[in-house]
Chain A
Amino acid sequence: MNQRKNFQAWVFFALFLGIAAVLIPGRGMAADPIPIGILLPYTGPLGWVAACQTGADIARDEINAAGGVLGRQVQFFVADDEGKSDSAIAGEEKLININKAPAIIGPTSVTFRSVMPIAIKNKVVQISPTAGTTALDFVKEKYVFRTVSSDVVMGTGMVFEAAKRKYQKAALFFGDDESAQSIRGVLVPACKAAGIEIVGDVTFTQRQTSYRSELLSALKNKPQVIFFEADPQTSAVIFKQVTELKMAGDWIGTDFVSDQFLQATWPYSKGVGAVQPAAKTSPRLDAFAKEVEKRRGKPGIPVFTVNAYDAMIIMALAMEFAKKTDGESLAENIRKVANPPGTKVYSFAEGVKLFRQGQKIDYEGLAGPQNFDEYGNVVTSLGVFKIEDNQRKAIGFLDENDFGELLGKVRQLYATAQQKK
């Protein structure tokens, strides 16, 4: 009996500690700063995505150096969604209810829709710099925004590039997860619109030790280009075996061709290409790149970093414009500062200056013009990359001027089916 009482005592003590541990972070908050939440998969298979936080950090520091929003400093609160729904929900609840954030940057496609209802319920802006899933294409919600374009755009870009290289036969090689399947779903109508024949189509489970048979199946009809997406671990195995089996073909990947991808697959990924969201070269981007390099200690801008930067700057401008920091005002004013009409501005300080003069602005982001449509979507520019010398080298850029026409066709093919209710 005593043993039992002891155990119960320990349980209650532990409970008490647990509650205390949760309370304390809440108490520690200073009265003045504006809390902004960041919800990303720091751990889990999508860990490489979280590197984009550097972009948000740079934005925050830029904003605070310019005096903050409405005189108040911006402070980040971070939660790890581990790439899973329950962790995402817990993290979201913490950021909203304990940290009192009126806006949250993130999360990724995988968990976005799990946390979306919570944000909407609480009148909190949910702005993702990474979620490209087509599932969000027609979600018309006041509080939902994305500063990265939908996979419809990226998929179209991939096909556009393939058509540019005069390919006529393609194969699809995608993992069975949502992100990969989302792109694949776009590529099918996109290839059709561009007149490219799909001669191989394989969906595989990630993290296996052999993809030889899958490769055999996909490449048996000799496609000229292979569109693919797989996580870095799986890609390591895939490209090793592509090299081993001497398989020919031009590989074009997605935003998953990141620095982590490179690190995992080099040297077998030599020559592998990708089309992914990237900012067009400009002096502004160069300066940004230097800052990113300084903070990370290595060269290169991780995917989505510019999108995270834009997300934070836009929110700060919206709050400054609205002269309020709550979620609802923020949601109502994002388009007012990011979309035309207005004088084009390229930084937070510029925008604030023009506000003081009573002018309307149109923020042009690093990732693209960042003009939100009715569904909270944008079309950002795409970069064409090739892996060479252990680096992801940018060999070109595509924007709406290039693929706009194809995009229109793809959207039509896609939307007709999508919107049938």
Chain B
Amino acid sequence: MEGFLTFIISIATIVAIYSILTLALNIRWGFTGLLDFGIAGFFAIGAYTSAILTSPPSEELVFGVRHSLGFGIPFAGGVLAAAAAAALVAYLIGIPTLRLRGDYLAIMTIGLSEIFRYMAVNEKWLTRGSQGIRNLPRPFSGYSNLLDSLFYFLLVVVILFLLYLISQRMYNSPLGRVLKGIREDETVTEALGKRIFHFRMLAFISGAAFAGVAGSLWAHYSGSIMPHEFAPDITFLIWVSLTIGGSGNNRGAILGTLVLIGLFQQGTRFLPTIEGYTYLIPGLRLIAIGFMLILCLRFRPQGLLPEKAVRVEKGL
């Protein structure tokens, strides 16, 4: 029983961490209409920042290149630093790119996240290259396996809840209304005197910070990170999660992640492999996800939990 619970908790932890990523995408796309296909890049930045800062100091020869970073700062510092680093990079990148129109931004963001990934692979002095960074600490350890996993899971859930509240606050605030205005019709919003670029940047940075936190939590959950884990596949899964769950709606984001990642991806992991057709199940799974996306866009574009219609306020 204990084993079974530990297993369920490990899946739940993955779902919770990915939910934070979906919340991040929701701020960028759901609220503001920024077509962002590069969220995996900020996830990676968060993971690496946290990993580099929280690893114990050491000097090693990695594939012939000297690597000597690692500052041993505590876990909490790692998470905060991850958010800050991701936000900073978002700011720097945002300055030139957020003026691009929608579809160009999409391509640009994928390109960027891939460039980050190549840097992670090749800049061995910083990231230890393809070998990745290991022995990442977890804040609770030393208890039983079940309790450790449970504590970490609860920690992630608490952070998820906090970020959810922050995001909800954003959504219901005047800031949120402007973002929605930008999403719906930029021209009108601009005519009302709002500086579009400024607000897009805010959304971009906030999304980055959330993604950075998710990355940090992921790194410490996983214990070690390697560049090839941060491929655009993650971005695709998060997109489908958000679309299915209900873009624009935070609860929808979380539900979508639960359905897609929890049920679909992890749950179908344990279907038996058919002899000689090892690609059948993983391939079908991804095909099904593709279909789900298209069908959802066609028949239920608002997702499982639609965004609540905004009530028109008098005098706005």
Contact = CB atoms under 8 A, between A and B. Distances in A.
A78 B273 contact: yes
Contacts of B129: 176, 178, 181
Interface in B218-272: 222-226, 228-229, 255, 258-259, 262-263, 266-267, 269-271
A265 to B, nearest CB: 21
Contacts of B145: 121-122
Interface stretch (B58-66, B160-168, B182-190, B287-295): B58-66
Interface stretch (A81-89, A303-311, A372-380): A81-89
Given A47-B278, A90-B266, A420-B59, A80 B273 contact: yes
B131 A181 contact: yes
Nearest to B17: A86
Contacts of B266: 90
A418 interface: yes
Interface in B99-143: 118, 121-122, 129-132, 134
A52 B255 CA distance: 40
Contacts of A7: 304
A86 B61 contact: no
A78 B281 CA distance: 15
A11 to B, nearest CB: 6
Q: How large is the interface on B (under 10, 10 to 19, 20 to 34, 35 or more residues)?
A: 35 or more
Indicate the member of A14, A84, A117, A182 with the most B CB atoms within 10 Å: A117
B10 interface: yes
Given A15-B263, A177-B228, A90 B61 contact: no
B229 A86 contact: yes
B58 A114 contact: no
Given A176-B121, A181-B131, A43 B278 contact: yes
B6 A93 contact: yes
A97 B8 CA distance: 10
Contacts of A100: 3
Interface stretch (A19-27, A59-67, A214-222, A391-399): A19-27
Interface in A1-21: 4, 7-8, 11, 14-15, 18-19, 21
Interface in A77-135: 78, 80, 82, 84-87, 89-91, 93-94, 96-98, 100, 110, 113-114, 116-118, 121-122, 133, 135
Contact of A98 (B4, B225, B267): B4
B59 A42 contact: no
Decide if the interface of chain A is mainly helix, strand, loop or mixed: helix
A421 B64 contact: no
A23 B271 CA distance: 12
Given A47-B278, A176-B130, A21 B63 contact: no
A91 B282 CA distance: 14
A96 B131 contact: no
Contacts of B14: 86, 90
Contacts of A117: 223
Contacts of A110: 226, 228
B71 to A, nearest CB: 15
B222 A43 contact: no
A23 B132 CA distance: 34
B269 A90 contact: yes
A188 interface: yes
Contacts of A176: 121-122, 129-130
Given A135-B131, A176-B130, A84 B63 contact: no
Given A14-B263, A418-B60, A21 B270 contact: yes
B63 A18 contact: no
A114 B222 contact: yes
Contacts of B258: 11
Given A11-B259, A421-B59, A185 B229 contact: no
A31 interface: no
A403 interface: no
A85 B273 contact: no
A360 interface: no
Contacts of A26: 4
A93 B130 contact: no
B3 A21 contact: no
Interface string B58-88: 1111111010000000000000000000000
Given A82-B282, A85-B224, A86-B14, A25 B270 contact: yes
A202 to B, nearest CB: 13
A114 B304 contact: no
A414 interface: yes
Q: Which 5 residue pairs are nearest across A and B when measured between Cβ atoms?
A: A97-B3, A417-B61, A185-B63, A18-B267, A178-B130
Interface of B: 2-4, 6-8, 10-11, 14, 58-64, 66, 118, 121-122, 129-132, 134, 145, 148, 222-226, 228-229, 255, 258-259, 262-263, 266-267, 269-271, 273, 278-279, 282, 304-306
25 contacts: A7-B304, A11-B259, A15-B262, A15-B263, A18-B263, A22-B7, A43-B279, A80-B269, A85-B225, A89-B222, A93-B6, A98-B3, A114-B222, A118-B223, A133-B131, A135-B131, A135-B134, A176-B129, A178-B132, A185-B61, A185-B63, A189-B64, A205-B118, A417-B60, A420-B60
Given A22-B267, A98-B7, A181-B63, 15 more contacts: A14-B263, A18-B267, A82-B282, A85-B222, A86-B222, A90-B11, A110-B226, A121-B148, A176-B121, A178-B130, A178-B131, A181-B130, A203-B122, A417-B60, A418-B61
